[in-house]
Structure 1
Amino acid sequence: MFLAATAKPIDEKLRNLVDEITAENPDLSILAAREFRYSLHQTPVELSIKEPREFNVLEEFIIRAGIEFTPPPTEDELASILGLDPIFVRNTTANLQALQTLSATSPITVTDEGRDFYAKGSVPQPPYPIQIYAVSDALDGKLIFHAEPLNDVSLSLPDLAEFIKIARKINDISALTIEKLQKCIQLSGLDFHVPELGKIVTSCKVLAPAQIIWKNISLLVIFDAVKNTLRIQIRNGKQVLESASKRMELLQAKGKIPWQTLCKLSNEAINFEREAILNHKNDEIESRVAKLSKGALKLSDAEVIPAVREVLNSAKRQIIISCPRLNQAVINAEFLSLLQKLANRGVWILIGYRISPEAAEVEKKLCAIKTPHGLPSVQFFFLENSHIKEVIIDQKNHFYGFFDLVNCGGEYLPNGESVYQVTIPQQVAEAYQFVAHGCHNHAQTQWNIALEKRDFQSAAEALCVWGALNMQNIGLQEIEESNWLELLPVWLNIIFHDLMSHKIIDDSISFTTALSLLSQLSGESACIDELQEGWRKVIQAIASIQPESALSLLNDQVWADFIRLKIVQEHDSRDNFILPPSKPPRKKRGES
């Protein structure tokens, strides 16, 4: 069986991290987890920054006179026109000439550069220096700039370079082009080079030799039972270092990972653990199939398509499809047409897969299927626990299927497919909980990634999955906890979709929590237009079903926020808002 957790080479400080990873993804097994140190090279550098400032009044008059007067005036003539001492004008023009805004001639002549700056309302200043620190990370393959130096901490950890060849090459800062330096500074999140504001890094010089700074990292050996792959992952705390991890994978592919010395793992131990994990996974699948089969109706080949089509066509709110392998042959024109008809009725459709060689093409077709309210009706995603084909409709009908295997000379080969239908409520509920749990985990993972990258589209897709699973409150909670209020209109659209499609108010939805978030918004919020429309639609949709419920939501504080955010007008009344008076019928022509 598996190696006991205590028998695995897992450093004590990493045990909690390992437990978190395996809890979030049961298909992953951590064979080893060790801490190492590796060296960074920190170089103090001096940037030269050129930054404009706004014109003062006299500078603006001088340049404007040089551009608009015909002929341009001399310094003394302009001083006379402005009623100023000529010394003030001469000193200012001398300063503008030094900044190459005016040419050193008389009368006043504005340079091309001066005209550009005048159009922007600013004048260049002499470059000024600032010291920052360039940190070269050979393992991650990056050059990062920091405003403050990294602390040199003594780490009593093994040096990764003693086990794996890591280039000690230091980026030659002085050899980099100014364009490369500018880009690196921007990618480092520093605001020293902002061309759109006229702030430009013009040069960079090294102030002192590089200093070695030690950094600690975690190295994890991970076996993925779904993909049957072994990989090495490098982390800094909980953050995965993608470039470093990919580099380790390349070394692994070349057979350059010394498993025994690096991870205290022998090839025999790795192979034994892999086999044990796969056997355990197969046992889990067989156990689940056996449990599903109790009370299931086996369908004949002729019954499968009509039975599935009939139940799919009867769907009212939700369809979940879990498929180990999915391609364009499955997602054909007939199937897409059926999905669009279901979407038109407001049915949510979740499709999870384990393997899809044509995932991009399939996803493109499925993403085109929209609800009448413009939401993506179909969510298509990788589902780790998708080992057998399953279709669950409205939590009432469950179809599942798998290939029968026949032993041919010691090798098991597929021999037709068995398909079963289950309608026993308890068994359907258990199957639904299993598949829905996988969908929820996917949504949570996608949300976490979207939150880290601030990816609005991915976050919206996660909200749609939660909406399809009737877990709208989880989505709302995540929006509130992350203070990502720009996503509230998406959440409202999901709620509006269900209200209009099913004409039922779900009492469990936290409308009061959603309304309380209005106090954190202002009329200048980026999402205000969508938010105004969203709340109008949702409240009026609730009112069309249960007017008293809509009215109870609009307490004094909420109504004040509605007025403040212009969701309603000051002269509106709550009664008229939730049930707008119908327009009088048009008079026919000829009627007085």
Structure 2
Amino acid sequence: MVAKHRKMNIIEEFIFKCINSGTPDLTNVEGITSFLKINDVFIRGRIQEFIKNKVLIEENEVLFLTDTGKDIYKKGIVPSNPKQETLMFYYEPMFHKWTLKGGDSYLPEGEELFPLYNEEKANEKAANILFDEQEIITIGNQSGAIFETESVQFVIDDIVVPYIFDYTYQRFGEFWVYDTIEDSIYCRVWDENQNIFREDIQSYLEEREAIHYRRKLQEEMQEREEYFHQIRRAFVQQQDQQKKKDEVAILRGLPIREAFMKSLKETKHKLMIMSPWISEKVVDNEMLRLFKNLADRNTVIYIGWGIAKREDLEDRRPTDALLSRLKQIRDKNGNQAVFVHWIGNHHTKEVISDHSYHMLGSFNWLSYRGDYNIRDESVYKIENLEMVNEAIQHTENLFLDLLENRKREIWTEEEVRGWMQEIIRLDTQKQRRYSLVSKVIQEVKEREELPLLHEICTLLITAKTSFPGLSDLVLYLLYVDNQSKQLHQTLRTVEELKPTLFQKISKEQQEQLQFIQYTPKSQRHSSKRKKKK
């Protein structure tokens, strides 16, 4: 029995208001009748109807709103008199599936029955069908009917458990499809009653009949092998063309600034920016904060600037204060995280985020905001890996040329430290970088600056790329600086971050480790256990 809702009239609204107020004189039939001055028969009849529809309850001649009553009172609706509604369901024994009856069913009239169904199985399974109210509601909802118990749309007063009264048959369409690209075969089954594809039947058939259809298909494929090959080749070409389109996008106007700011938040390892000019109006506190956030995540930033052929000819130099603030940005380990260089004689505007994408165009990244008074600018964003790597190679080469020239000028510990921190974070031209690093290490050895050598050694240990001369540097410190506490700290760092290298050193230099009284971590734990015993 289902009761549908309708809009509440003014008398019904006052009845609900009286009961909802909780006032003793207004929560019974006599009090409401006296207050509204309406015939007792009319009020009593409406209240009895509300009680029957489960929106009111009466206890000791006192009326209360049920939860459903409170809900419909807020929405200004009331249920009508319940009516019986009958819905017909199909039950499929093989798949334990219930569906609302949709179209007309029919007997097969000599057609071959679906092999999954037979009357014996249907009788056997139908005899054990169990129903409950929630199951019927769920089936109805899934089939598109509204069965929500005590909703404001329908109030279900009673549900009669259905029963099996007849057997029927339904037409299904069975299709076997061969995917030329994936070289796979699969089944599709169309349910004409529900107008849907049936995944349960499809899976059942694929498990049992796919091999059969695969054999039949192989015979045809032998005859049409070249045809299938042409299809695959055309598909691959189409995919390649689409991929190239997807990997290159053009940005105009405000989206350029948005993409740039996004790179300042999402870059994980290295961000390179080429901009002819650097302005404090653009590289403001907000951008410096974003740079610092990147540094805190161990991301390094390289900035190249300068359009004039000589630095002293630049008429729009960044202020010394701004360059100093950029230089002072450090990562969590205290290492310099932002490196700014005058490149000179370039008008390129480029951003490279990790090995992910490369942006280039007319937008001056560090001297034009582009978020107000927007002028016409355009930028290509390229995500093709080969093109991105080429841009990285070209840009890093510019920085590496500068570092090689600066190598002749670095003398103080701070200059050596900054130079080393910068060169080891680059990715390309490894042999050239290794050669430059080796020369600097040799110069520091000749100057006998052992504390600085320890710092360089620690930088190389923590670098993401392996440095071929690291083992020789550790051995050098092991023998030359064997009385310092700093050596023990360096060895601990090697042991923690380069365990394979440490195992090699500890095996070949066991006596020297004993001489400097360094105990490997595994042996330290062992000795502690012995002391406890």
Give 1 or 2 for the bigger CA radius of gyration.
2
Q: TM-score, normalised by structure 2?
A: 0.43
* Structure with higher RCO (Cα < 8 A, 6+ apart): 1
Structure with bigger strand share is 1
